[in-house]
Amino acid sequence: MSKPFEKMHTRRLAALAVCCILLFLAASVRTFQFQIVQGEGFRKQVEKSTAAVVSVSAARGEIVDRNGIPFTRNKAAFSVEIDHIFLRKQKQNQARLDNDALNATLLKLMSTFEQMGEEWIDNLPISQTAPYTFIDTEESALQRLRSELEVEAYATPEDCLYWIYLEGGIKKYQNKSGKCTHCGEKFDDCTFIGYSEEDSRKLAGVRYQMMLMDFSRYNNRFTFAEDIGAETVALLKELSEEYPGVTISEKAIRTYVSGDVASHLLGKVGPIYAENYDEYVTQKGYPANAIIGISGIERAFEEELRGKNGKMTVSLNSKGDVVSVEESVAPIAGNTIQLTLDYNLQKAVQQILAEYIESYNKANVDKHETKAAAIVVLDVKTGGMLACVSYPYFDINDYINRYSSVAQAEGNPAFNRALNGIYRPGSSFKPLIAAAGMAEGIISPESEIECVGRYMYYAPTYTPSCLNDGHRPGSMQTVTSSLWHSCNIFYFETGRLLTIEKMNHYANMFGFAVPTGLEISNALGYLNTREDENWQEGNVIQEAIGQLNTGVTPLQMAIEAMTLANKGTRYESHLLKAVLSNDTTQVIREQEPVVASQFTLTEEQFKAIADGMVLVGNNIPSPNQLTDLGYPVAVKTGTPQVTKETFNHAFVSFAPAYEPEIAVACIMEDGGNSHHMLQKILLAYEQSKKGLPFEMEPNASDPDAPPENSSSPDGNAPSNPSGSSENTASETSALSEPESTNPSESITSE
């Protein structure tokens, strides 16, 4: 019985042995496959335990003038950034920003920067030292401060600093529960080490910027400083262990190579602030640390300039070391924005205006001095802006890096008078009334209206007068002679017959009190209406000479001249000439002229207006005469009153008068004879068409000439306010309210 059992047992053992051998062989093969055949792949998988997709910023497109001259450039520069991930601490199972570590790192960085002569970003609009004051900066910056800190408009600088100190753990405060607001522990047990007042303010500047940028685990990179020197870069890299969370990155930054040329128009770029996070990050898919256009042309053409970011995959092993970096999607640089502006003409007009103001003030040492003015030049055939000058102007780099120095300078250079200054146009409004009267059939080119010296329709309570400069009471005035002599009576009667509604209708057709089409911010202005608080029937004739509640911008005045030159066709004003590829080899989109409104002036009607304006232009004396240019120039001046003692001076013009190419308008605050600059502006335009800069001649503005030309028959004599045909209600230069509400008080009798 034992032998069969032994045989069976032996067979089982043998079978088991075979199974073990087979399993061993299978395991060996599998192990060989894992370790030898697929070993490298598994090793990489272990090392590549995490991978992150990082956005690669695209180079921003450039801004150039109509001839390709650049206003902006991009340059590679080193930036210092702070990474949120290295400055966190675990607390109550949550990773939170370690204020102690961050503030210590920031102070160390600041000390190093001060030693190296570097600057860091601090846009907190509060003075650096006590007693603390709000810096005279952009109102939007103060509004952003109050909004971010959730404080009332009456909050003091100290109130604002308190909340920044609280948020950033910069100072130790006790809350109602007896806990330290800095660390959350019992207040008496807190080991918080305080900072000096100077260091606290420095930290507040950076921590406030972090608040604006929503520096967090979601937006985990903060730019501390840009465009730092190579020596500072080397030092920070050498001592990198002393600056936890600090990294050096190289990226393109915006530079403005045009200096003070077109500085009011270009605008600037900046980070995405919290209030814009939803628009740009959530809706448009921008990275949270993206740089965007925040004003001017930079903002208006953000979509074209920004390009498309690329993607880069960064793989990390389990230790957090970078294993590989692969560019999965290449960035595409932004497009080039080609403007209608002519760099050479813009620069020339700035210089012409600045030198004229200097010489004018020098010649008027015992009188009022002009400190501000604006000039706009438009392409008549398209509405494109060729030049736009607001004086005083500034260097765009000062505006970006030292805004307070610009904002606090005399004359408020930061204010763009050309686009947003609202002024009474005075007699420069009269060509519009002449055109409206003829278009409505109220007058014709041959119509005559007697200048009676004093307008008696509203007698005895309101009897405004005419200066009768160049003509006598009792003379018969036509459209042409009334513009030449700036006869108020002619326009009082024409305006009254038109009615306020018809005048406003045509004023809208000429671009007043309606959107201009310009891509960047510009004011609408206003006209007289029956809804005005100071409305009286006499206000109708006040508007007919561009007074009382008539408020317009220099841009709109240039549009008036353009519309006249086009015999009633008004184009939308614009700055964009074309969108080009980044390398400028391809035209992606070209801006076509857009008709904004249209009515018809016949050739005869147009000629009646142009003839009168040419007579004004022909009367400009040497050395500023227009008669040597080789073509006639249409001009209409105005001298709207500001106060009882001061007047602005204005003009509108188009040239050549009968085959117009450009329209020009100017407002000169508390000045005179601004049309004496027109010769040089037109010469500069001729040079710009050839692609050449304009060379100013020495003493070209004739500072020894009398400040006012008393013989000029345009009805303007600001040196003799009591005799001016435009002595009307007082006018403040920008965004003003009329001083007088009684028309009978608005025009001074002779």
Predicted confidence at residue 143, as pLDDT, reads 84
Residue found by looking up tokens 């029956």 in the block: 530
Highest-pLDDT range among 251-260, 401-410, 538-547, 700-709: 538-547
Burial of residue 74, with CB atoms counted within 10 A of its CB: 0-12 exposed, 13-18 middle, 19 or more buried: middle
Predicted confidence at residue 309, as pLDDT, reads 75
Predicted confidence at residue 723, as pLDDT, reads 32
According to DSSP, the β-strands at 595-598 and 373-379 are: unpaired
Strand order in the sheet with 322-329: 50-56, 310-316, 322-329
Helix-helix angle 430-439:500-509, to 10 degrees: 110
The phi and psi torsions of 307 (rounded to 5 degrees) equal 70, -165
Could you tell me if 335 and 61 are in contact, meaning their C-beta atoms sit under 8 angstroms apart? yes
Mean pLDDT of 306-331: 67
Taking 50 as the threshold, does the pLDDT of residue 725 lie above it? no
Q: Which residues pair with 526 in a beta bridge?
A: 551
Taking 90 as the threshold, does the pLDDT of residue 141 lie above it? no
Residue 578, CB-side half-sphere exposure with 13 Å CA sphere: 14
- Please choose, from the candidates 559, 547, 567, 561, the residue with its C-alpha nearest in 3D space to the C-alpha of residue 514: 559
Predicted confidence at residue 315, as pLDDT, reads 65
The 3-state DSSP class for residue 472 equals coil
Highest-pLDDT range among 6-15, 141-150, 454-463: 454-463
Type and span of the H or E element at 314: strand 310-316
Identify the DSSP state of 721: G
Signed CA dihedral, 618, 620, 621, 623: sign only:
negative
Find the angle CA(371)-CA(372)-CA(373) to the nearest 5 degrees: 140
Could you tell me if 167 and 207 are in contact, meaning their C-beta atoms sit under 8 angstroms apart? yes
The 3-state DSSP class for residue 454 equals strand
Structural domains of the chain, ranges and CATH numbers in brackets: 49-71+257-333 (3.90.1310.10), 85-245 (no CATH), 343-746 (3.40.710.10)
Distance CA 742, CA 729 (A): 8
Centroid of chain to Cα 672: 29
3 state SS for 566-591:
CCCEEECCECEEEEECCCCCCEEEEC
Distance CA 35, CA 97 (A): 43
Taking 60 as the threshold, does the pLDDT of residue 539 lie above it? yes
Distance CA 195, CA 180 (A): 16
Strand order in the sheet with 63-64: 63-64, 336-339, 576-580, 587-590
Q: Which of 27-31, 210-214, 344-348 has the lowest mean pLDDT?
A: 27-31
Could you tell me if 644 and 669 are in contact, meaning their C-beta atoms sit under 8 angstroms apart? no
Distance CA 680, CA 620 (A): 13
Which amino acid is it at 80? V
CB proximity list for 111: less than 8 A, separation 6 or greater: none
How would you label 248-260 residue by residue, b for 16+ Cβ within 10 Å and e otherwise? beebbbbebebeb
- Please choose, from the candidates 655, 665, 524, 575, the residue with its C-alpha nearest in 3D space to the C-alpha of residue 385: 575
Predicted confidence at residue 718, as pLDDT, reads 32
Distance CA 110, CA 112 (A): 5
Average pLDDT across the chain, whole number: 84
Taking 80 as the threshold, does the pLDDT of residue 407 lie above it? no
Distance CA 85, CA 95 (A): 9
Distance CA 215, CA 377 (A): 45
Predicted confidence at residue 35, as pLDDT, reads 58
Q: How does DSSP assign 653-718, residue by residue?
A: EEESSSS--EEEEEEETT---GGGGHHHHHHHHHHHHTT-PPPPPTTTT-TTS-SS-TT-TTS--T
The pLDDT tens digits of the residues spanning 260-281 come to 999 999 999 988 877 788 898 8
The phi and psi torsions of 713 (rounded to 5 degrees) equal -85, 50
Alpha helices in 213-320 (DSSP H): 230-238, 263-266, 277, 296-300, 302-305
Confidence tier at 537 by pLDDT (50, 70, 90): very high
Confidence tier at 608 by pLDDT (50, 70, 90): very high
Name the region of 205 (left: φ>0; alpha: ψ -120 to 50; beta: rest).
alpha
Predicted confidence at residue 528, as pLDDT, reads 97
Predicted structure pTM score:
0.79
Predicted confidence at residue 183, as pLDDT, reads 72
CB proximity list for 296: less than 8 A, separation 6 or greater: 264, 265, 266, 267, 268, 520
Alpha helices in 313-378 (DSSP H): 343-363
Residue 260, CB-side half-sphere exposure with 13 Å CA sphere: 16
Helix, strand, coil percentages (3-state) for the chain, rounded to 5, are: 35, 20, 45
CB proximity list for 538: less than 8 A, separation 6 or greater: 458, 462, 464, 743, 744
Q: Which of 199-203, 368-372, 626-630 has the lowest mean pLDDT?
A: 368-372
Distance CA 660, CA 632 (A): 10
Predicted confidence at residue 505, as pLDDT, reads 98
Taking 80 as the threshold, does the pLDDT of residue 684 lie above it? yes
Predicted confidence at residue 428, as pLDDT, reads 98
Distance CA 324, CA 392 (A): 54
Q: Which of 121-125, 192-196, 398-402, 702-706 has the lowest mean pLDDT?
A: 702-706
Name the region of 682 (left: φ>0; alpha: ψ -120 to 50; beta: rest).
alpha
Confidence tier at 113 by pLDDT (50, 70, 90): very high
Predicted confidence at residue 669, as pLDDT, reads 96
Confidence tier at 161 by pLDDT (50, 70, 90): very high
Residue 732, CB-side half-sphere exposure with 13 Å CA sphere: 7
Signed CA dihedral, 725, 728, 732, 737: sign only:
negative
Predicted confidence at residue 175, as pLDDT, reads 78
Cis peptide before 656 (omega within 30 of 0): yes
Could you tell me if 213 and 144 are in contact, meaning their C-beta atoms sit under 8 angstroms apart? no
Type and span of the H or E element at 417: helix 417-420
Could you tell me if 575 and 534 are in contact, meaning their C-beta atoms sit under 8 angstroms apart? no
Could you tell me if 96 and 207 are in contact, meaning their C-beta atoms sit under 8 angstroms apart? no
Burial of residue 554, with CB atoms counted within 10 A of its CB: 0-12 exposed, 13-18 middle, 19 or more buried: buried
Q: Which residues pair with 316 in a beta bridge?
A: 50, 322
Distance CA 427, CA 419 (A): 20
Distance CA 642, CA 649 (A): 10
Taking 50 as the threshold, does the pLDDT of residue 595 lie above it? yes
Type and span of the H or E element at 650: strand 649-655
Distance CA 400, CA 128 (A): 18
Could you tell me if 264 and 393 are in contact, meaning their C-beta atoms sit under 8 angstroms apart? yes
Helix-helix angle 678-689:343-363, to 10 degrees: 160
Distance CA 733, CA 119 (A): 38
